[in-house]
Structure 1
Amino acid sequence: MKALVLEDVQKAVVKDVPAPEIDHDGILIKTMANGVCRSDWHVWVGDHGIVQPIIGHEFCGVVEEVGHNVKNFKRGDRVIIPFSGSDGTCPHCIAGNTHLCDSFIVPGTAYQGGYGEYVAVPKGDRNAIHLPENLSFSDAAALGCRFMTAYHGVVDRVHVLPGENVVVYGCGGIGLSAIHIASSMGANVIGVDINDSNIELAKKLGADYTINSMNNDPVEAVKELTKGGADVSVDALGITETCLNGINSLKKGGRHLQVGVTSKKEAGFISIPVDDMVLNEKSFITTLGIPAYRFSSLLEQVAQDKLQPGKMVTRNIKLSEVEGIFEDMSNFKTTGTFVVTDYS
């Protein structure tokens, strides 16, 4: 099969490699679409170690083969693979929090991912979901980790309410997803970015106001727009500046949602204004993936056109174009979501 193979930091090569094999519990997927995610960029740029040579965790496709023990799928089924996979045995899985599974069965980390023409998904009955017929593969790939994580964060973790003021720092994939989801819930949404193209896309996805932080102090602008501060802030990037700006944009009693993970510069640590947060009862909340039982709710809203992840897709690309997208991510030049649909 064709695959994009990581040979070293910032070196990815399209080459022919053996197709993966499944065990009795696995499902072999012919990959039809895979989203290019900033989490992939973190691996490519060297922020995280290369565990699998073939990464990619935002994919969907068609079932090619099933193991003897698989009950819920057959050859030809259209499926999507939520990136937060699970094994069903740990205390978190038993409690319903499958996205926190101790086994962390994530494509591109625990097994080879969606930048290959075929993917062998372990424990297929648990880790694949039937894809609605009216949802295209490209749009489904846009549901990848960014959209499902934003959905779980905005809906389940910070519980955004109609009429609340929500500010989102970083209008990349996660940020645009958060903007779109919060807007669909009736919130007043502010999008902040340094890229005018991202800002324009944020408006199309439901942002009521936008701020270019290269030209304005975003914290002061948010406080002026909201008459004192936002109810909810979202850091969709993970750098010190966006994290602190999010916290400082909140009113008393506000909730900060941390979605973005740090780069090599922060190395996992950001100093936050604890005293201010205590004195003003500001909450710091995190989110990762989505529990399996919540995915059906997300898919239902997409199928009913209440949520439209396809609006984020800037372009469908070839596998050979992925490294160029990573390079643009390094310079914050990308707008929207890019989806690999051509593996030739």
Structure 2
Amino acid sequence: MRAVVFERYGERAEVREVADPKPAEHGVVVRVEATGLCRSDWHGWQGHDPDITLPHVPGHELAGVVEAVGTRVTGHRPGDRVTVPFVCACGTCPSCAAGDGQVCERQTQPGFTHWGSFAQYVALDHADVNLVAVPDGMSFATAASLGCRFATAFRAVVQQGRVAAGEWVAVHGCGGVGLSAVMIAAASGARVVAVDVSPRALELARRFGAAECVDASRVTDTAAAVRELTGRGVHLSLDALGSPATCVASVNGLRRRGRHIQVGLLPSPDGTTPVPMARVIGLELEILGSHGMAAHTYPPMLELVRAGVLRPDLLVTSTIGLAEVPAALAAMGTTPGAGVTVIEPWS
């Protein structure tokens, strides 16, 4: 099969022929029809993920057709249209038993713990626990966008963030995760403030329901701007980008007893990020992380997509082939993202 491979961190990847994957006893091989290009893939390429072993094939949000099944798989067969969370749960550890597969103690992640979906085929573990059926009317591009960014945003806003109609919600960083969060929060009846440095990203945020926008390239204190727009600050704030500056701004923009959700990865040389803890204590703020979404919790999200309340298809702003991936992956470090780029490996 053809796949995008990198041999060294930060050095340009290339498209080459590699061996086709084989399914584990509990796993499947999926023919990849669409896969998203995500900032997490850029972090992996930069060497920020300790699970990656070189050489490596990135890619973790995907949709396609089951090609082959392992001997212990009972719920799926070749020809099934499927997607999968980027965290593949084991299904048997205490976290999985509690319904928390997104923090599985023995999780695997395509594109991180093993070769991923920037390829024509990908192997996926524990298929009976992790595969999610793609409805017949849903495109593969739309389904691929669910597996990481949209599902991550849905859990962050709805399940972790406990969004309520009428609340103010700030979203810092309007790439794929951030725009998904804007759409989901607005559909939940919240008033959304979108924060980004890109006019194009803010334009999309308004299109997807943001009531207010803050151009972070034009203000020196984005948290103060958020508080001014909302009166007393927001009830719920998400750092969807992942940087010390956006994390601190998210916390500082909260009102009393507000909730901060950290979604974007925060790589740093020493593994720490400064957080204004005096404000956290004084205002009784909540600081929560959000890490994907377990497969068994997909149905409510899929129903909102089916009903047209949520439109993840509108987030797809470009489609590319494998040959264009190495340049697009490298560009994620310098070019602000706007929307979701989907890769079609067979085009």
Normalising TM by the smaller chain, what interval? Answer: over 0.9
Q: Does the alignment pair 1:240 with 2:244?
A: yes
Partner of 2:43: 42
Aligned partner (choices 86, 91, 95) of residue 94 of structure 2: 91
Q: d(CA) in 1 for partners of 2:285 and 2:336?
A: 33
- Aligned residue identity for 1:41: W
Aligned partner (choices 118, 122, 126) of residue 125 of structure 2: 122
- Aligned residue identity for 1:27: V
Aligned partners of 1:177 and 1:309 also within 8 Å: yes
Q: Does the alignment pair 1:201 with 2:204?
A: yes
Q: d(CA) in 1 for partners of 2:228 and 2:71?
A: 61
Aligned partner (choices 199, 211, 215) of residue 212 of structure 1: 215
Q: CA deviation at 1:267?
A: 4.6
Q: d(CA) in 1 for partners of 2:170 and 2:193?
A: 5
Q: d(CA) in 2 for partners of 1:72 and 1:111?
A: 23
Aligned partners of 1:234 and 1:258 also within 8 Å: yes
Q: Does the alignment pair 1:254 with 2:254?
A: no
- Aligned residue identity for 1:223: R
Partner of 2:13: 12
Partner of 2:60: 57
Aligned partners of 1:151 and 1:298 also within 8 Å: yes
Q: d(CA) in 2 for partners of 1:277 and 1:191?
A: 22
Partner of 2:157: 154
Q: d(CA) in 2 for partners of 1:111 and 1:45?
A: 16
Structure 1 residues 235-292: Cα deviation after superposition (integer angstroms, max 9, x where no partner) = 01111110010111011111111101113x4553111111121111111111001122
Q: d(CA) in 2 for partners of 1:88 and 1:143?
A: 21
Identity %: 39
Q: d(CA) in 2 for partners of 1:24 and 1:229?
A: 52
Partner of 2:309: 306
Residue 115 of structure 2 aligns to a residue whose secondary structure is: coil
Q: Choose 182-191 or 210-219, whichever is displaced more.
A: 210-219
Partner of 1:293: 296
Aligned partners of 1:195 and 1:332 also within 8 Å: no
Aligned partner (choices 173, 181, 187) of residue 184 of structure 2: 181
Q: d(CA) in 2 for partners of 1:102 and 1:250?
A: 32
- Aligned residue identity for 1:20: P
Q: d(CA) in 2 for partners of 1:246 and 1:44?
A: 27
Q: CA deviation at 1:174?
A: 1.0
Residue 33 of structure 2 aligns to a residue whose secondary structure is: strand
- Aligned residue identity for 2:5: V
Question: Which runs of no fewer than 5 residues in structure 2 stay unpaired?
Answer: none
Q: Does the alignment pair 1:145 with 2:148?
A: yes
Aligned partners of 1:63 and 1:77 also within 8 Å: yes
Partner of 1:2: 2
Aligned partners of 2:35 and 2:63 also within 8 Å: yes
CA RMSD of aligned residues (A): 1.4
Aligned partners of 2:120 and 2:345 also within 8 Å: no
Aligned partners of 1:261 and 1:268 also within 8 Å: no
Q: CA deviation at 1:168?
A: 0.6
* TM-score with structure 2 setting the length: 0.95
Q: d(CA) in 1 for partners of 2:240 and 2:31?
A: 31
Q: d(CA) in 2 for partners of 1:270 and 1:329?
A: 22
Q: d(CA) in 2 for partners of 1:44 and 1:160?
A: 34
Q: Choose 68-77 or 277-286, whichever is displaced more.
A: 68-77
The number of aligned residues is: 343
In structure 2, relative to structure 1, the CA distance for the partners of 1:41 and 1:260 (3 Å cut) is: same
Q: Choose 190-199 or 328-337, whichever is displaced more.
A: 328-337
Q: Choose 105-114 or 47-56, whichever is displaced more.
A: 47-56
Q: d(CA) in 2 for partners of 1:23 and 1:224?
A: 55
Aligned partner (choices 66, 69, 76) of residue 66 of structure 1: 69
Q: What does 1:315-330 correspond to in 2, within 5 Å?
A: 315-330=318-333
Aligned partners of 2:84 and 2:295 also within 8 Å: no
- Aligned residue identity for 1:4: V
Q: d(CA) in 2 for partners of 1:146 and 1:58?
A: 8
Q: d(CA) in 1 for partners of 2:225 and 2:329?
A: 31
In structure 2, relative to structure 1, the CA distance for the partners of 1:215 and 1:186 (3 Å cut) is: same
Q: Choose 34-43 or 112-121, whichever is displaced more.
A: 112-121
Residue 73 of structure 1 aligns to a residue whose secondary structure is: coil
Q: CA deviation at 1:76?
A: 1.0
In structure 2, relative to structure 1, the CA distance for the partners of 1:200 and 1:150 (3 Å cut) is: same
Q: d(CA) in 2 for partners of 1:320 and 1:208?
A: 38
Aligned partners of 1:328 and 1:334 also within 8 Å: no
